[in-house]
Copies of this chain bind each other. A is one copy, B any other.
Amino acid sequence: MRKLLIIGIGAGNPDHITVQAINALNRVDVFFVVDKGVDKDDLVRLRRDLCARYIKGRSYRTVDIADPARDRASPAYEDGVRAWHAQRLAAYETALMRELGDGECGAFLVWGDPSLYDGTLRIVDQIAARGVVAFDHEVIPGITSVQALAAAHRIALNHIGAPVEITTGRRIAQGLPENVDDIVVMLDGDCAFKGIAETDIDIYWGAYLGTEDEILRSGNLHECGSDIERVRREARARKGWIMDTYLLRRAGAKAG
């Protein structure tokens, strides 16, 4: 039987890795790496460094899976994502079939946690359902950028007994949710916070969280929103890519 591990490796700080993840890394024969293109070389290097740092006295192979180009211009966001996932599915299945031997252990390393805005688990479920390659799989949780954000700002995400919503830039571009005062925004490539008309909102923003390039900003959204936009644009131009996350907090909400 083939074994497949889906390992959360944290948000970018190599020290965010858990003991469970380190133990898992040390069981792996084949790492499957999805090639996201040149502009994310830093991330590929960070992953390679993690393996070099934490895997002891064991050899392993690395197999690259070419990531099909995603049509980000598609007007139907969900359809676009779905088509892209189907192509990825075929690429992953072929790689597993060709490269993972019977009795071997393969792994996908996932930034953050495999349960939050990551497609790996869905692809793995779909491959399992197709039944062409038989394998058993296991999930190892990791520190998310949301947790790294809260830790860096030294804040709780929730007010006492109150809910938190985790959502996307695309969603909040259509309006902030009404019944939740603490809103974590991920996957926002367009500074969707710019479009928010509500005035009494605080933002806690962070980029490259947990890495040496970490940038933090916080304050009233309307006072520091344009500063964040500028800092974000400059950082992205400098490094070629950016990963950022933020919390929007209705300041009028009862403090905890």
Contacts and interface: CB of A to CB of B under 8 A. Distances in A.
A161 B115 contact: no
A155 interface: yes
Interface stretch (A74-82, A93-101, A191-199, A229-237): A74-82
Contact of A15 (B13, B18, B78, B113): B18
Interface stretch (A27-35, A65-73, A116-124, A216-224): A116-124
Contacts of A167: 163-164
Contact of A117 (B18, B81, B158, B180): B158
DSSP class of A's interface residues: helix, strand, loop or mixed?
mixed
A127 interface: no
Contacts of A90: none
A256 interface: yes
A152 B137 CA distance: 11
Contacts of A6: 154
A156 interface: yes
A83 to B, nearest CB: 12
Given A77-B161, A143-B143, A161-B77, A118 B20 contact: no
Nearest to A116: B157
**Best-buried of A23, A137, A150, A156 by chain B (most CB within 10 Å):** A156
Contacts of A81: 160-161
B139 A151 contact: yes
A27 to B, nearest CB: 13
A160 B20 contact: no
